[in-house]
Amino acid sequence: MTAYDDLRAHLRSAHLLGTTAALLSWDQETMMPKGAGAVRAEQLSLLAELQHQRTTDPRVADWLAACEADPRTQADPDRAANVRQWRRDHTRATRLPSALVAELAAHESTAQQGWATARSKDDYRRFQPLLDRMVVLQQQKADCLRLPGQSRWDALADLYEPGMTAALLRELFGPLRQQLVALRQRLTDGSEPDDAFQRQRIERPAQETFVRAVTTAFGFDPKFGRLDTSVHPFCTNVGNDVRLCTRFGDDDVLDALGSTMHECGHGLYEQGTEPEHFGTPLGEPVSLGIHESQSRLWENHVGRSAAFWRWCWPLAQRHLGAACDGFDAARVFRTANRVQPSLIRVEADEATYDLHVMVRFELEQALIDGQLGTANLPGEWNRLYREYLGVQVPNDRQGCLQDVHWSCGLFGYFPTYTLGNLYAAQFAAAADRALGGLDQLLERGNFTTLREWLRRQIHRHGRRHSPAELCQLVTGAPLSSAPFLAYLEQKLGSVYRLPA
């Protein structure tokens, strides 16, 4: 056995612990009876502790040093990439003192429960002391992680999107915000699509067979995954086994379809990684921004396109029956692309979604840098919603208490949603060029060609390249907001029948 083999086997076992914890979390969100909560929290905490012990085991440092000194490592690109990423993960994990890791885990659990109560009672003051403590702990975490000259926010954001900084994001977001606000204003001059199809009441079993048929057509492999329901849609990989969760209401089948296509996009990325690299960085997704690009590409560029609806309409008629009477593909395509500035991020349309993200990006930087106190958060939140989205926030429940992220300690995470939208548009444009027109494929129900292209270009590389390198390799250009804006202009121009 070489040091590389020892290291690989050891960290594979840490990965197995992580995926076991993921299965317990999946169960908690879908199947677990309420009474099991306290013991489940103990089980998850024990697994997290064991995984952290394995990752920070002193032998890992020795094996890493041996691998880095071994010429065979550099001679083998797969080994070199794995060792590079293992080093990055190890440095991170060992920089955080275990007392801080434990306190963060405990406070995340307390703050998340406190947030849920405060949100249901619309009582920000109840949550404020918990958020205060969370900000302090995140500042301490950032101080442990950051490199000389690196800001606290950048150190946190790098956990989710390697290489991304607030300065780079400001360059992307500044012009994007102005153009999105201008686009939103122009749409008010167009002809507004109707929402009658969304208000059709449809039995849940019919909705379910319909959305399942779409995931099958997209190529989600049920031999290595499942589709279930949960309150909040999500996707998790619990081994060689990808769990998608979606939601159904009594009406609005477009919401169920959108959520399902979104999670299916995440699932196709997970299923597209190379089995031979399981348990190593080359078998893992590269970043949250790239992950989100895959979900948004299938949800929006495929599933909200006119070509998709031309293919999908007979399928909808077959499964949804009388609910489709009096409608057609063109009308439902327009309904699926309605733009309406709203208060809630997760319900936002494609043209306003990123404005929600930008509000959070501004505010969390100010919180972490200490420029904004938590007492002033609701006021600043409401002010930015007026400025960016033109909406009046009536209460904190629909305002700064709407998202779980900050209560779970996820600072530096929100921008990955917008990065996902930008990457998705740039990848979709590259696929369109490489495959000779996506629309012709989608309207024939050929999703395989696109899925295999994404797999070759993105999924199978795992963490071999940084997100920035990957973007350059796949699209021939660095990340830019131009493809996203061009896509929105083109599609929404046709939906709203704006003069060209």
Residues annotated catalytic, as ranges: 263
CB of 299 to Zn ion, least distance (A): 8
Which residue has the closest beta carbon to Zn ion?
295
Classify 56 in phi/psi space as left (phi over 0), alpha (psi -120 to 50) or beta.
alpha
C-alpha distances out from residue 128 to 106, 119, 154, 365, Å: 17, 12, 24, 17
Judged by CB under 5 A, which stretch of 61-69, 291-299, 370-378, 408-416 contacts Zn ion? 291-299
User: Quick check: 295 binds Zn ion (CB under 5 A)?
Assistant: yes
C-alpha distances out from residue 7 to 13, 56, 94, 424, 474, Å: 10, 12, 16, 35, 31
CB of 296 to Zn ion, least distance (A): 7
C-alpha distances out from residue 199 to 218, 252, 318, Å: 26, 6, 19
What are the structure tokens assigned to 390, written together?
């033109």
C-alpha distances out from residue 473 to 90, 174, 456, 487, Å: 27, 25, 12, 21
C-beta of 138 vs 295, nearer to Zn ion:
295
Distance CA 445, CA 311 (A): 6
Distance CA 492, CA 182 (A): 13
CB of 8 to Zn ion, least distance (A): 30
What are the structure tokens assigned to 268, written together?
């196709």
Distance CA 338, CA 315 (A): 22
Judged by CB under 5 A, which stretch of 289-297, 361-369, 460-468, 474-482 contacts Zn ion? 289-297
Structural contact between residues 78 and 282, judged by C-beta atoms closer than 8 angstroms: yes
CB of 249 to Zn ion, least distance (A): 19
C-beta of 252 vs 292, nearer to Zn ion:
292
* Among 464, 442, 467, residue whose Cα is nearest residue 453: 442
C-beta of 382 vs 421, nearer to Zn ion:
421
CB of 118 to Zn ion, least distance (A): 25
CB of 472 to Zn ion, least distance (A): 23
Beta-sheet pairing, 242-246 with 234-237: antiparallel
Site string for Zn ion, 369-388 (x = CB under 5 A): --------------------
Judged by CB under 5 A, which stretch of 212-220, 290-298, 374-382, 465-473 contacts Zn ion? 290-298
Judged by CB under 5 A, which stretch of 7-15, 285-293, 333-341, 463-471 contacts Zn ion? 285-293
CB of 86 to Zn ion, least distance (A): 26
User: Quick check: 416 binds Zn ion (CB under 5 A)?
Assistant: no
How crowded is the C-beta side of 46, counted as CA atoms within 13 Å?
A: 8
Binding residue count for Zn ion, defined by CB under 5 A: 2
* Residues contacting residue 40 through CB under 8 Å, at least 6 positions apart: 24, 28, 32
C-beta of 292 vs 349, nearer to Zn ion:
292
CB of 263 to Zn ion, least distance (A): 7
Query: Within positions 59 to 98, which residues make up the interface with Zn ion, using CB under 5 A?
Result: none
C-beta of 141 vs 296, nearer to Zn ion:
296
Distance CA 463, CA 34 (A): 37
CB of 292 to Zn ion, least distance (A): 5
Distance CA 311, CA 330 (A): 11
C-beta of 79 vs 296, nearer to Zn ion:
296
C-beta of 161 vs 396, nearer to Zn ion:
161
Judged by CB under 5 A, which stretch of 188-196, 223-231, 294-302, 308-316 contacts Zn ion? 294-302
C-beta of 107 vs 262, nearer to Zn ion:
262
Q: How far apart are the first and last CA of the chain?
A: 66
The residue type found at 72 is: R
Site string for Zn ion, 171-190 (x = CB under 5 A): --------------------
User: Quick check: 481 binds Zn ion (CB under 5 A)?
Assistant: no
C-beta of 187 vs 257, nearer to Zn ion:
257
Distance CA 82, CA 51 (A): 18
Site string for Zn ion, 242-281 (x = CB under 5 A): ----------------------------------------
* Among 328, 354, 350, 330, residue whose Cα is nearest residue 339: 350
Beta-sheet pairing, 242-246 with 225-229: parallel
Distance CA 148, CA 146 (A): 7
Judged by CB under 5 A, which stretch of 292-300, 312-320, 346-354, 397-405 contacts Zn ion? 292-300
Binding residues vs Zn ion (CB under 5 A): 292, 295
